[in-house]
Amino acid sequence: MKHIFQNSLSIMLILSLLGIKTTWSAAEGLEIRTIRFQGNSVYSDKTLIKKMLHRPSSLPYSLFIPNKYDESIFQDDVIAIEKFYKDNGYFDAYALPTKIEIDSIHKQVDIEIDITEGEPYIIQSITFLGNTLFPDSTLTEHIQIHSGEIFQTKNLNQSTDALLALYNNRGHLDTSIQPEVRLLTEQSRIMVDIAIIENRSSMIGHIQIQGNQKTRLQVIQRYITFQTGETAQLSKIMESQRKLYQSGLFRSVFISLLPFNATDSTTRDVLIELKEETHINFMTGIGYGSFDRLRAKMEIQHTNLWGMARKASLTLKASSIVRSAELSVTEPWTWGSKWQTDISGLMEFKKEPGYHLKRQTGQIQIGRDWLQRFRMVFALTSAFSRLSHVVVTDETGTARSQKYSFSTSMVYDSRNNLFNTQSGTVIDMSYEIGKIDQMGLKNFSRSILKIKYFLQLSPRVVLGTACEIGWIFMDGGRSAIPLYERYYSGGPNSIRGFQNKKVGPLDQNRNPVGGTFKLVWNAFEMKIDVYKIFGLAFFTDIGNVWEKPELFSVKSLRISPGLGLRINTPIGTGRVDWGINVDPNPGEPRSCIAISMGQPF
């Protein structure tokens, strides 16, 4: 009976479309003012409109999306709505365009679509066929569909992928998973049969490597996580391919399993095809920021010294407030281990608010990654600094100092994208201890904790928050700490409603003095993708810097809400932020506009 009913509905739909064909054709090219649905209760009008290519002219759809009526596109929209229902278990659902009203004066149309949703189809049974390697109970644990639930095509596809991964990681790389859905229309039930053709398992035979002209064989082997004689696992093959590509040594990496050996029906050789990158690179860039104005960067880099994946680079930077030159060398496999060593030398000149700084720094870092998301780094640093043009009250004159320090840091990073993050967490803890020689050696220590969190609320909306807490202890208190070692806040990457480094202690001429305790909380930033590469952001920043930790108080926190424009580019996110100072002190601007590149935190 249900089939007869569905066929009758299909005939009604065809006759209806034929009957109003002239009316719909007359609407061709007119602006769509509204799209209304009747009969839908499971899914809202907003949800159904998102499945269509057409959009009504009302906000927010009319901002950038064309909304002119096209008959052929509209027919596809109706099919897309029905497919959406069926993919979510409503196999008897159908959509019927029933009404169109043409406003010839304003050249607009109003469209009405009737929805018959029907009953959701419930999974009655799941049957596995052909499985011998794994029992039904094990397969059931790995799938996302279960008896008694509403059927969803997405969950069935995910279940198929999960079963393939299960078999592939046991060496059955040629396994075939063939799900079949049977409808019991009278009861609105579904029976799912999953046929499994396991095929034979594979062992890793000889590993052949081709295409490495400069990179030494032992370097490549460090990134390969499988070896001859073990069971072939797709996860290890994919991980090896990813590691080889992320090494930066190769332009392309392809790993494939060759057919079974003629002499051994269980063994398959592995072919690794590589195409090496250009190892000597010359890069230049020009940019603009609110504080450093026009800036330029030039870098010369060699990424594969002596074919051992060692790196060396020379980086030059220049702007209205910064000039620097840095030479660095990297050994990715220190003494054959997974520890990476970086040796760098830096010469820089900075024009800071209240003083000029010249500094030469030498540093040795050794670090490694753990469990893909953790990184630990130890560092030895020696820096010679000289201050000049000091205008900060009670800090005038020229000061020289030498710093020797040891630092350690631990970072957990689960962000999905470093340049345009939609989800993930960052926890960064660092501790530095050492001595500063400025009219005598004095002990100091510095601790910093940074936490960032990102959550994707919808495909177009990302919510982010971040908090940074830092404190410094040194013999003699703040006055003994050099100006360039103190904490400051304010600017495009901290509290955006204030000028650069102007949050915290200031002298009588409003020059930043800095402090020993810092709290910056980017309470929230909601980023909304509006159209293609363009987006908007709404944010609130809270924080301050105190001369010493004992002076911290909630009442002294500075607050800065604001909004910004985001432009996603291949080299990062461009930002224009307008931050508001809700409670300005005498001499402070009520707001600040900052132009910069990169994420605010």
Dihedral angle sign, alpha carbons of residues 185, 188, 189, 193: positive
Ranking 25-29, 296-300, 586-590 by mean pLDDT, the lowest is 25-29
- What's the pLDDT at 108? 87
- Tens-digit pLDDT profile for residues 73-110: 888 999 999 999 999 999 999 999 888 888 888 888 89
- Tens-digit pLDDT profile for residues 386-435: 999 898 877 654 578 999 999 999 999 999 988 888 999 999 999 999 99
Domains 2-116 and 333-597 fall in the same CATH topology: no
Q: How far is CA 256 from CA 165, 259, 270, 386, in A?
A: 17, 10, 6, 58
pLDDT band at residue 8 under the 50/70/90 scheme: very low
Superfamily (CATH H level) for 122-197: membrane protein fhac (3.10.20.310)
Each as own residue / partner, the long-range contacts of residues 138-141 (CB below 8 Å, 24 or more positions apart, any chain) are: 138/166, 139/163, 139/166, 139/194
Strand positions, DSSP E, 232-352: 250-260, 267-276, 280-289, 293-305, 310-319, 322-331, 340-352
Q: How far is CA 458 from CA 192, 423, 440, 455, 461, in A?
A: 31, 11, 57, 9, 5
Q: Coil, strand, or helix at residue 308?
A: coil
- What's the pLDDT at 20? 43
Q: How far is CA 176 from CA 164, 235, 261, 379, 595, in A?
A: 7, 17, 21, 51, 54
Mean pLDDT of the chain: 89
CATH class of 203-276: alpha beta
- Tens-digit pLDDT profile for residues 177-191: 999 999 999 999 999
- What's the pLDDT at 398? 54
Q: Domain segments of the chain: what residues?
A: 2-116, 122-197, 203-276, 333-597
Within 10 angstroms of residue 208's Cβ, the number of other Cβ atoms is: 11
- What's the pLDDT at 127? 96
pLDDT top residue among 60 and 345: 345
- What's the pLDDT at 532? 84
Residue 10 has pLDDT above 50, yes or no: no
Instruction: Please state, for a pLDDT cut of 90, what percent of the chain lies above it.
Output: 70
- What's the pLDDT at 556? 94
Which of 45-59, 314-328, 430-444 has maximum average pLDDT? 314-328
Instruction: With residue 51 as reference, give the H or E element that holds it.
Output: none
pLDDT band at residue 71 under the 50/70/90 scheme: confident
- Cα(85)–Cα(42) distance, rounded to whole angstroms? 10
**Dihedral angle at the C-alpha atoms of 532, 533, 538, 543, nearest 10 degrees?**
160
The order of strands in the sheet holding 267-276 is 203-210, 267-276, 250-260
Exposure class string for 130-167: b at 16+ Cβ within 10 A, else e? ebeebeeeebeeebebeeeeebbeebbeebbeebbebb
- Tens-digit pLDDT profile for residues 305-331: 999 999 999 999 999 999 999 999 999
Mean pLDDT, residues 524-553 taken together: 94
Mean pLDDT, residues 472-496 taken together: 90
Superfamily (CATH H level) for 2-116: membrane protein fhac (3.10.20.310)
pLDDT band at residue 58 under the 50/70/90 scheme: low
> Are 283 and 302 in contact, with CB atoms under 8 Å apart?
no
**H/E/C letters for each residue in 549-573?**
HHHCCHHHCEEEEEEEEEEEECCEE
Instruction: With residue 586 as reference, give the H or E element that holds it.
Output: none
> Are 407 and 376 in contact, with CB atoms under 8 Å apart?
no
Backbone angles phi, psi at 334, to 5 degrees: -70, 120
Residue 210 has pLDDT above 90, yes or no: yes
Each as own residue / partner, the long-range contacts of residues 156-161 (CB below 8 Å, 24 or more positions apart, any chain) are: 156/181, 156/192, 159/194, 160/194
Whole-prediction pTM value?
Answer: 0.77
- Cα(78)–Cα(76) distance, rounded to whole angstroms? 5
> Are 169 and 186 in contact, with CB atoms under 8 Å apart?
no
pLDDT top residue among 257 and 25: 257
Question: Which numeric CATH code is attached to 333-597?
Answer: 2.40.160.50
Q: Any idea what DSSP says for residue 479?
A: G
- Cα(488)–Cα(575) distance, rounded to whole angstroms? 22
Token output for 46: 């907003």
- What's the pLDDT at 6? 46
